Amino acid sequence: MRAGKPISAPVQSAVSELLSELHGASGCEKLGLAPESFAEILADVAMKYLPAEATEAEARTFLLSLRIAELALARACVAGHNTAWELFLIRYREKLHQCALRIAREDSAARDLADSLYAELYGTTTRDGQRVSKLASFTGRGSLEGWLRTVLAQEFVNRYRRTRRLVSLDEEGEEGSQFAAPEPEPVAPPDSRLEAATDAALASLSSEDRMVLASYFLDGRRLAEIARLLAVHESTVSRKVDKLAKSLRKKILANLIQQGMARRQAEEALDVDVRDLRLDIRRSLTQESSPPAFPRKRETRVEALREGQE
Amino acid sequence: MQSIPKFVVKRLQQHLATAESHPDADLLTAFAEHSLKGRERALLMEHLAACGDCRDVVALALPVTESVTLPARNAPGIGWLSRPTLSWAAVSAVILVVTSAAILHYSHRNQAATIASNFMQKDAAPTPYVLDQTLSRHATLPARATPMEPSAALDSQTSTTHKLALEANRVVQPPSSARLSASQVFTVGSGSAGGIGSGSGIGSGSGAGQGVPPRRDSIAQASQDPTVPAQNPAREIHQQVRVGAASTMVEVQAEAATLNPETAPTGQNQIAQNRADLPIQGRAFTDLNVVKAKDPVPPQAAPIGSSAASAGSNVAMQTSSSATLQASPRWTVSPAGTLQRSSDGGSTWQTVDPSASLRVSVARAAVTAQAGPVATDPKKENLNRKTGTAPNPSPVFRAVAAIGLEVWAGASGGLLYHSPDGGNRWLLVAPAEGGTILTGDIVNIQFSDPQHGRIATSTAELWTTFDAGQSWRKQQ
The verdict on a CB contact (< 8 Å) between A241 and B29 is no
The verdict on a CB contact (< 8 Å) between B49 and A270 is no
Shared domain check, B240 and B191: yes
Shared domain check, A91 and A57: no
Shared domain check, A259 and A197: yes
Give the pLDDT score at B395.
83
Residues of chain B contacting residue A219, judged by C-beta atoms under 8 Å apart: 52, 55-56, 59
Pairing type for strands B462-465 and B473-475 reads antiparallel
Q: Could you say which of B50, B53, B348 has the minimum Cβ distance to residue A157?
A: B53
Domain interval for residue A120: 85-178
In a domain, B142, yes or no: yes
Residues of chain B contacting residue A252, judged by C-beta atoms under 8 Å apart: 8
Q: Please name the residues in contact with A309: beta carbons below 8 A apart, sequence gap of 6 or more.
A: A104, A106, A109, A156, A159, A160, A163
In a domain, B208, yes or no: yes
Helices marked H in B123-178: 128-135
- Helix pair angle (B6-14, A274-285), 10° resolution: 110
In a domain, A274, yes or no: yes
The verdict on a CB contact (< 8 Å) between A211 and B26 is no
Percent of chain A exceeding pLDDT 90 equals 41
Shared domain check, B91 and B51: no
Shared domain check, A304 and A213: yes
Determine contact: A207 vs chain B, CB below 8 A. Answer: yes
**Which B residues 78-97 touch A at CB under 8 Å?**
none
Shared domain check, B95 and B46: no
Determine contact: A62 vs chain B, CB below 8 A. Answer: no
Give the pLDDT score at B80.
57
A303 has pLDDT over 90: no
Cα Rg of chain B (Å, integer)? 26
Is A306 in contact with A105 (CB distance < 8 Å)?
A: yes
The verdict on a CB contact (< 8 Å) between B7 and A219 is no
Chains A–B, number of C-beta pairs less than 8 Å apart: 178
Q: What are the φ/ψ torsions at residue B409 (nearest 5 degrees)?
A: -130, 130
Closest C-alpha to B220, from B234, B206, B201? B234
**Which B residues 192-251 touch A at CB under 8 Å?**
none
Residue in chain B closest to A210 (alpha carbons) equals B49
Shared domain check, A22 and A127: no
Shared domain check, A171 and A96: yes
Distance CA B7, CA A192 (A): 12
Regarding an ipTM greater than 0.85, the answer is no
Shared domain check, B84 and B56: no
A281 has pLDDT over 80: no
* Residues β-bridged to residue B187: B240
Is A134 in contact with A151 (CB distance < 8 Å)?
A: yes
Burial readout A160-198 (b: 16 or more C-beta within 10 A, e: otherwise): beeeeeeeeeeeeeeeeeeeeeeeeeeeeeeeebbeebb
Distance CA A124, CA B361 (A): 69
3-state secondary structure of B144: coil
| Domains held by chain B: number | 2
Distance CA B362, CA B252 (A): 7
Domain interval for residue B30: 6-61
A248 has pLDDT over 50: yes
CA distance A172 to chain B (A): 26
Give the pLDDT score at A90.
92
Residues of chain B contacting residue A138, judged by C-beta atoms under 8 Å apart: 25-26
Other Cβ atoms less than 10 A from the Cβ of B111: the count is: 11
The verdict on a CB contact (< 8 Å) between B11 and A199 is yes
**Which A residues 240-269 touch B at CB under 8 Å?**
241-242, 245-246, 248-249, 252
In a domain, A74, yes or no: no
Cα Rg of chain A (Å, integer)? 27
- Helix pair angle (B84-122, B128-135), 10° resolution: 160
Distance CA A293, CA A267 (A): 35
Q: Please name the residues in contact with B160: beta carbons below 8 A apart, sequence gap of 6 or more.
A: B154, B175, B178, B179, B180, B181, B183, B184, B209, B224
| Site from A143, A148, A233 to mutate, B interface, most B CB atoms within 10 angstroms | A233
CA distance A156 to chain B (A): 9
**Which B residues 333-372 touch A at CB under 8 Å?**
334-335, 340, 346-349
Give the pLDDT score at B269.
58
Q: What is the DSSP letter of B20?
A: S
Residues of chain A contacting residue B1, judged by C-beta atoms under 8 Å apart: 238, 241-242, 245
CATH number of the domain that residue A158 is part of: 1.10.1740
CA distance B21 to chain A (A): 13
Lay out the sheet containing B248-250: strands in order across.
B248-250, B427-430, B416-419, B406-411, B397-403
Q: What are the φ/ψ torsions at residue B371 (nearest 5 degrees)?
A: -75, -20
Distance CA A12, CA A26 (A): 19
Is B35 in contact with A141 (CB distance < 8 Å)?
A: yes
Q: What is the largest CA-CA distance in chain A?
A: 78
CATH number of the domain that residue A253 is part of: 1.10.10.10
CA distance A84 to chain B (A): 20
Secondary structure element (H or E) that encloses residue B432, with its range: strand B432-433
| Site from B6, B40, B57 to mutate, A interface, most A CB atoms within 10 angstroms | B57
Residue in chain B closest to A221 (alpha carbons) equals B59
Give the pLDDT score at B334.
87
Give the pLDDT score at B197.
40
A49 has pLDDT over 90: yes
Give the pLDDT score at B65.
61
Shared domain check, A146 and A98: yes
In a domain, A8, yes or no: yes
Residues of chain B contacting residue A273, judged by C-beta atoms under 8 Å apart: 5-7
In a domain, B323, yes or no: yes
Task: Give chain A's mean pLDDT.
Answer: 81
The verdict on a CB contact (< 8 Å) between A241 and B8 is no
Q: Could you say which of B4, B57, B69 has the minimum Cβ distance to residue A233?
A: B69
Residues of chain A contacting residue B32, judged by C-beta atoms under 8 Å apart: 142, 146, 149-150, 229
Kindly tell me the sign of the dihedral angle through the C-alpha atoms of B200, B99, B221, B129: positive
Shared domain check, B369 and B247: yes
In a domain, A272, yes or no: yes
Q: Which region, left, alpha or beta, applies to residue A83 given φ > 0 means left and ψ of -120 to 50 means alpha?
A: alpha
Shared domain check, A262 and A203: yes
Shared domain check, A129 and A42: no
Helices marked H in A182-233: 192-203, 207-213, 223-230
Is the pTM above the cut of 0.80? no
Could you read off the pLDDT of A97-112 as tens digits, one per residue?
999 999 988 888 888 8
Q: Could you say which of A141, A210, A301 has the minimum Cβ distance to residue B52?
A: A301
Distance CA A86, CA A80 (A): 11
Distance CA B462, CA B454 (A): 7
CA distance B426 to chain A (A): 23
| Domains held by chain A: number | 3
The verdict on a CB contact (< 8 Å) between B61 and A156 is no
Give the pLDDT score at B181.
43
Residues of chain B contacting residue A302, judged by C-beta atoms under 8 Å apart: 56, 59-60
Residue B294 carries which side chain, given as an amino acid letter?
K
**Which A residues 150-169 touch B at CB under 8 Å?**
150-154, 156-157, 161
**Which B residues 45-64 touch A at CB under 8 Å?**
45-46, 48-50, 52-53, 55-64
The verdict on a CB contact (< 8 Å) between A198 and B46 is no
Q: What is the DSSP letter of B217?
A: S
Q: Could you say which of A139, A235, A246 has the minimum Cβ distance to residue B349?
A: A235
Shared domain check, A211 and A283: yes
Shared domain check, A48 and A4: yes
Residues of chain B contacting residue A142, judged by C-beta atoms under 8 Å apart: 26, 29-30, 32-33, 35
Q: Could you say which of A141, A152, A235 has the minimum Cβ distance to residue B27?
A: A141
| Site from A158, A211, A272 to mutate, B interface, most B CB atoms within 10 angstroms | A211
Cα→Cα distances B464→B142, B451, B472, Å: 42, 10, 6
Could you read off the pLDDT of A202-222 as tens digits, one per residue?
989 999 999 999 999 989 999
Determine contact: B26 vs chain A, CB below 8 A. Answer: yes
Residues of chain A contacting residue B69, judged by C-beta atoms under 8 Å apart: 233-234
Could you read off the pLDDT of A183-195 as tens digits, one per residue?
555 555 557 888 8
> What percent helix, strand, coil does chain A show, rounded to 5?
70, 0, 30
Shared domain check, A303 and A213: yes
The verdict on a CB contact (< 8 Å) between B49 and A228 is no
Distance CA B302, CA B420 (A): 18
Distance CA A289, CA A281 (A): 14
Give the pLDDT score at B5.
79
Residues of chain B contacting residue A198, judged by C-beta atoms under 8 Å apart: 7-8, 11
Is B58 in contact with A219 (CB distance < 8 Å)?
A: no
Distance CA B207, CA B184 (A): 11
In a domain, A186, yes or no: no
Residue in chain B closest to A160 (alpha carbons) equals B53
Determine contact: B20 vs chain A, CB below 8 A. Answer: no
Tell me the pLDDT band of A128, cut-offs 50, 70 and 90: confident
The verdict on a CB contact (< 8 Å) between B35 and A161 is no
Q: Could you say which of A142, A143, A233 has the minimum Cβ distance to residue B68?
A: A233
Shared domain check, B194 and B52: no
Shared domain check, B91 and B46: no
Task: Tell me, rounded to whole angstroms, the distance of Cα B308 from its chain centroid.
Answer: 22
Among A33, A66, A99, residue at a domain's last position: A66
Distance CA B313, CA B242 (A): 9
The verdict on a CB contact (< 8 Å) between B58 and A229 is yes
The verdict on a CB contact (< 8 Å) between B61 and A152 is yes
Tens digits of pLDDT across chain B (476 residues): 677 777 778 777 776 655 568 899 999 999 999 988 888 999 999 999 989 889 999 999 888 764 454 444 444 444 555 566 777 888 889 899 999 998 988 887 877 777 766 666 655 544 444 444 444 444 444 444 444 444 444 444 444 444 444 444 444 444 444 444 444 433 333 444 444 444 443 334 344 444 444 444 443 444 444 444 444 444 444 444 444 444 444 444 444 444 444 444 455 555 555 555 554 444 444 444 444 444 444 444 444 444 444 444 444 444 444 444 446 788 999 888 889 999 888 888 899 988 875 544 444 444 444 444 444 444 444 444 444 444 445 688 989 999 888 999 999 888 999 999 899 889 899 898 888 888 888 988 989 888 889 998 888 888 999 889 988 988 86
Q: What are the φ/ψ torsions at residue A191 (nearest 5 degrees)?
A: -65, 120
3-state secondary structure of A64: helix
Shared domain check, A160 and A197: no
Shared domain check, B238 and B329: yes
Closest C-alpha to A26, from A63, A73, A59, A61? A73
